[in-house]
Structure 1
Amino acid sequence: MNIKDLNINNDIVNLFDYTLNDDAKISLKKLLATPLSSKEAIIERQNILKGFLVNLKVFHNYSYSKIDFREVNYFLETFDKDTYLPKGIKLKLRLYKSKHYEYQSKCVQLIMLYHRLHNYIKNLPTAAFPKKYKSEIICIDEYFSSFRPDYYQGLIRENKFKIKHILEIISIIASKKKKLKIQEFHTIFPLFEAYLSAAIGIYTQHFSFPNIGDKGIELDNFYHPLLKAPVRNSLVTESNVILLTGPNMSGKSTLLKAIGICTYLANIGFAIPANKGSIPFYSNIDVFINLNDDLQSGYSHFMTEIINLKKVVIEARTSKKCFAIFDELFRGTNIDDALEITRTTLKGMLNFTDSLFFVSSHLHQLITMDEIQSDKISCYYLDCDLQDDTPTFTYQLKQGSSDIKIGRILFEKEKMNEYLSM
């Protein structure tokens, strides 16, 4: 997939990032960056997140010391039985106060952290979660329970935490280390927190889960989630090829990014910035918006466009369901060439009926194509009002095309004819 122009890892991740430690943040980024393999996997992910959403009250004021979490994890990761349980360790703890304090502080820190975390987990109803993920929650609960945090926390509070209790905890750690239970926990718990973080983001942003349909996209009041005051639009695709026209500054790129974000988030099982929607599973998603010359590979802007288009078409020809956005396709060549090959491209895309293509263009002449006149290719534009020759952009998506020439209007409004005349 080519989704770098959606800025998922740099911008979109922040909408869902309520993580409290680096491990959870890494897991969240993996969730957002890793495509799912099927419609069933998407629905499974949706149901996991819905399970957290139903139970968000359980995690009210969910927090803990980041320093404690990091130090406990380091202690467990570097734990070695021969170091912490050598022969005669009980006597050494009695004789050497520094050693006693070291062991005691590590165990107390672990128990206090696990006691706090376990209070959230043990009160979490699992009925709302899918069966497979329910077992992971039970695994986390059993992991914390095995340390008996309530019992040892009570001893610590009553100042009855003795050497024998320290050695009991050290022995529990040694056993879990041997059985690889600590490594297992450090895999599933960051993912647990990543899901929780994503659910908090979905709730905070008022996103909705789309239906995972079979063909075509339906979006009701969708928007770009990073805008402070976004304009909402609705869309129902009636063709597998959509041409978007309109002048510069009309918002075409932003609209296409919003559609791309909705489609990608839906395909990784996340909720989307829309009131509701229906989006199919796509095996390949490619978004080409901020296209530049590929200097590293030696490609010109136009050749980069050709290479990107070729990759998408090859994927579509192998019976894969592809979703692709091409913003200002073939803007890297002259207008005559661009017009001819854009027509050929749009016609050719009609052959791949299981895929969906969005193409934006300044080439107003494209609307005369028979395929557009007969509605085989859907044509949309972003509205613009003119008041006293001053363009006002509404950013509203409408069917059809617009023949407003903003470039000429702005050129004349700035009196460029006068400045350029002798």
Structure 2
Amino acid sequence: KRHLKANLIDAIIDCLRNKITASADYYVVESGLKNFLKLSIFLKDYVQVIEETDAPKGLKEHAEKINKILSLPALKAMIAISPKKLRFWHISRLDSAFRKHLRKELTELLRLVYELDVYETLAYTIEQKSLCLPEYLDTESLNISIEALYHPGIKGAVTNNVEIQEQNNMTFLTGSNMAGKSSFLKATGLCIFLAHIGFPVFAKSMRTTIFNGMITTINLPDNLNDGLSHYYTEVKRVKETALQLRDGGKVFVIFDELFRGTNVKDAFDASLLIINELAQIKSSVFLISTHIVELAEELKSNRNVAFKYMDTFFENNHPVFTYKLLDGISKERLGMYIVINEGIVEIIQQAAENECT
């Protein structure tokens, strides 16, 4: 709470008080100083290693900032004290100096240490999880290339490649239930988001244009507080997207099962209307999944729409999910198969029989 005084008499008094009645404050100061002295030893070694190796420019600049603080005359002599040889007069002198005269410099030093901790954690995670750092393209034209993209939340996830340019900036994604459409969209969205905050991504390699914004509609709920149905919430999100597109810039947009909150006829008409209009915008990217495969025929006149589907096939009357992204439009229908396979009809029939008896 209070800083210790640097003179010897006060140092003796504080030490004796702590000996007679153990003080939590004194313990915190003493242990904190020991840890700081250990940290300073590590930082000096770190600076030396960075100076002697062909480290990236950013790390060299980071090490130079640390070295500049450690080399301050007022600090240099103090951190030369060994943590194992820290005595009560050292504790009082260091605590007084650090908190009264060197607070600003040590606060900056700790900030640099926190930054270093982030770098080290990222490097460790990249190595352990086989992640990659994205390459950012300084170009106005759209260009996204992701090799071996996968979802980190799926054990043994199947990887897929993603290639998006201006000539195919809209992806129309189809596939049966459980084929992996939503997981693919989530993996792609997560990859784009992480890349734009400077983090490693879950892929073998990635090159991307810089986007000004990102909008997703995945598992969009209704809003009871505002009295909005699921469908109206979808419409509001589409409007939000339109407004952001109108304001300019590159936007990465993901719509998972657009307008699924309404009847099939309105969903078809609304989806066709919105997708056709969005297809006129070439500066942004649109990933749109749907179960309404009939839309595909109506959208073929848009040359920038890439038709993709998640592969599924039947083997011995059972569906096989490859989770691979292929060119084309899905022809598989699993909705009725899943309902029948769950035995729901038989359960309802049994319930009806029980009611009769």
Deviation at 1:368, TM superposition (A): 0.5
CA–CA separation in structure 2 for the residues paired with 1:151 and 1:415 = 76
CA–CA separation in structure 2 for the residues paired with 1:380 and 1:317 = 27
Partner of 2:253, secondary structure, is: strand
Deviation at 1:417, TM superposition (A): 6.4
Tell me what 1:255 maps to. Answer: 184
- Unmatched tracts of structure 2, length 5 or more: 353-357
Residues 315-342 of structure 1 show CA distances to partners (whole Å, capped at 9, x for unaligned) of 1122211001111110011111111111
Tell me what 1:21 maps to. Answer: none
Tell me what 1:185 maps to. Answer: 109
CA–CA separation in structure 1 for the residues paired with 2:80 and 2:122 = 33
TM-score (normalizing by structure 2): 0.83
The alignment of Structure 1 onto Structure 2 pairs a total of residues equal to: 332
1:389 touches 1:413 (CA, 8 Å); kept in 2? no
CA–CA separation in structure 1 for the residues paired with 2:304 and 2:79 = 67
Which residue of the other structure, out of 307, 332, 347, is the alignment partner of 1:404?
Answer: 332
Deviation at 1:171, TM superposition (A): 3.8
User: Is 2:101 the partner of 1:175?
Assistant: yes
Tell me what 2:4 maps to. Answer: 84
Residues 277-305 of structure 1 show CA distances to partners (whole Å, capped at 9, x for unaligned) of 21111110122212110122221111111
Pair 1:341–1:195, CA change in 2 (3 A):
same
Q: For residue 34 of structure 2, what is the amino acid of its counterpart?
A: M
CA–CA separation in structure 2 for the residues paired with 1:96 and 1:266 = 52
User: Is 2:41 the partner of 1:112?
Assistant: no
Which residue of the other structure, out of 292, 300, 304, is the alignment partner of 1:363?
Answer: 292
CA–CA separation in structure 1 for the residues paired with 2:296 and 2:156 = 31
Deviation at 1:349, TM superposition (A): 1.1
Q: For residue 211 of structure 1, what is the amino acid of its counterpart?
A: E
Partner of 1:325, secondary structure, is: strand
Deviation at 1:226, TM superposition (A): 2.0
Deviation at 1:380, TM superposition (A): 0.6
- 1:299-318 equivalences under 5 Å are 299-318=228-247
More strand, by proportion = 2
User: Is 2:320 the partner of 1:388?
Assistant: no
Tell me what 1:161 maps to. Answer: 87
2:245 touches 2:251 (CA, 8 Å); kept in 1? yes
CA–CA separation in structure 2 for the residues paired with 1:153 and 1:207 = 40
- Unmatched tracts of structure 1, length 5 or more: 1-77
Which residue of the other structure, out of 198, 206, 218, is the alignment partner of 2:145?
Answer: 218
Residues 338-369 of structure 1 show CA distances to partners (whole Å, capped at 9, x for unaligned) of 11111111111122211101111000101112
Deviation at 1:404, TM superposition (A): 1.0
2:12 touches 2:88 (CA, 8 Å); kept in 1? no
Which residue of the other structure, out of 319, 329, 333, is the alignment partner of 2:262?
Answer: 333
Partner of 2:147, secondary structure, is: strand
Which residue of the other structure, out of 182, 196, 204, is the alignment partner of 2:120?
Answer: 196
Tell me what 2:154 maps to. Answer: 227
User: Is 2:63 the partner of 1:137?
Assistant: yes
Residues 386-405 of structure 1 show CA distances to partners (whole Å, capped at 9, x for unaligned) of 01321111111101111111
TM-score (normalizing by structure 1): 0.71
Partner of 1:84, secondary structure, is: coil
1:329 touches 1:359 (CA, 8 Å); kept in 2? yes
CA–CA separation in structure 1 for the residues paired with 2:304 and 2:14 = 84
Residues 82-101 of structure 1 show CA distances to partners (whole Å, capped at 9, x for unaligned) of x5238xx5323335643465
CA–CA separation in structure 2 for the residues paired with 1:339 and 1:318 = 27
Pair 1:97–1:190, CA change in 2 (3 A):
closer
1:93 touches 1:100 (CA, 8 Å); kept in 2? no
1:240 touches 1:355 (CA, 8 Å); kept in 2? yes
Higher relative contact order (CA 8 A, sep 6+): 1
Which residue of the other structure, out of 87, 90, 94, is the alignment partner of 2:12?
Answer: 94
Pair 1:167–1:95, CA change in 2 (3 A):
closer
Alpha-carbon RMSD: 2.8
Residues 95-125 of structure 1 show CA distances to partners (whole Å, capped at 9, x for unaligned) of 5643465697555423431233233322330
Q: For residue 170 of structure 1, what is the amino acid of its counterpart?
A: D
Q: For residue 380 of structure 1, what is the amino acid of its counterpart?
A: K
